[in-house]
Amino acid sequence: MKILFIGDIFSQTGIRAIKNELPKVKKKYNIDFVIANAENVTNCSGLSLEHYNELISYGIDFFTMGNHTWKQNDIKKILENKNIIRPANILLDHKYNRYGYGSRIIYLNGCSIRITNLLGLSVRFNNIQTNPFLYLKNLISYEETTDFHIIDFHAETTSEKNALFFAFKGKISAIIGTHSHIQTADERIRMNTAYITDVGSTGSTDGIIGANGEEIVKKYMNQIDHYSITDQGGNYQFCAVILDLDTNSKKVKDIKRIYIYETNTQDL
């Protein structure tokens, strides 16, 4: 059974990449189920109902999110659906924890698969998130056991992502890093746990991690904390990994990195 996990879809360029590339990838690799991180879809921040439905029409089955989950007004309604999760480790008494779920179980090809969304402490988020390590430890201890468990770990630093892998290898089927928008080349399987530090982003390659390059350079030149982000446009990349799950042994057989680069729009 093959699960495709697509990295952070970034605004309109990322949507275009999904529309153009996802049908071809699904056919080429015989994909059974598609998961995508959608926290940057609408105007680079959050997910609207219109874009949620559009991405489903292109073949995405399930969505994970991140620190930008709550930026669009539609999100409360979207989170009522069973094919989307937001970060699980949010303070219990915070308003963001009042709707939606951070972990869900799906059933596919006779197997139960838990999908969990965690937010790293390395992400600046006003200390709204709780410790993802302790949250996952408790989740494993107290929640229903499933055949497979896939984690989207939305975190800033490579060290925090690697630490989660080190702490939970052998206990989780796959830990997929998101948030940095830069695909890493360290995919591996240890103790039956598949891992990649960051799956990368699906969006423009002509700016800076998908965003307008001039806006980002201005931020660094002037040391600005609050700044606008818009889609750079131009060429796109499609970043993903394929998890090959053995339905008999209930183990991950392989993790394959996918990188597709569009070159026919404009030059840098």
Domain ranges of the chain: 2-261
For 188-225, write each residue's pLDDT tens digit: 999 999 999 999 999 999 999 999 999 999 989 998 87
| 217/241 Cα distance (integer angstroms) | 30
Please give the CATH superfamily to which domain 2-261 belongs.
Metallo-dependent phosphatases (3.60.21.10)
Answer whether residue 266 shows pLDDT above 90: no
Query: Is 226 a residue of the active site?
Result: no
Tell me whether residue 94 is annotated as binding: no
The reported pTM is 0.96
For 38-88, write each residue's pLDDT tens digit: 999 999 999 999 999 999 999 999 999 999 999 999 999 999 999 999 999
| 143/138 Cα distance (integer angstroms) | 8
Tell me whether residue 8 is annotated as binding: yes
For 99-154, write each residue's pLDDT tens digit: 999 999 999 999 999 999 999 999 989 889 999 999 999 999 998 899 999 999 99
Start-to-end CA distance of the chain, whole Å, equals 39
Tell me whether residue 138 is annotated as binding: no
Tell me whether residue 226 is annotated as binding: no
Tell me whether residue 39 is annotated as binding: yes
pLDDT score recorded for residue 191? 98
Catalytic residue among 51, 68, 94, 149: 68
Answer whether residue 245 shows pLDDT above 90: yes
pLDDT score recorded for residue 264? 58
Mean pLDDT score across all residues of the chain = 96
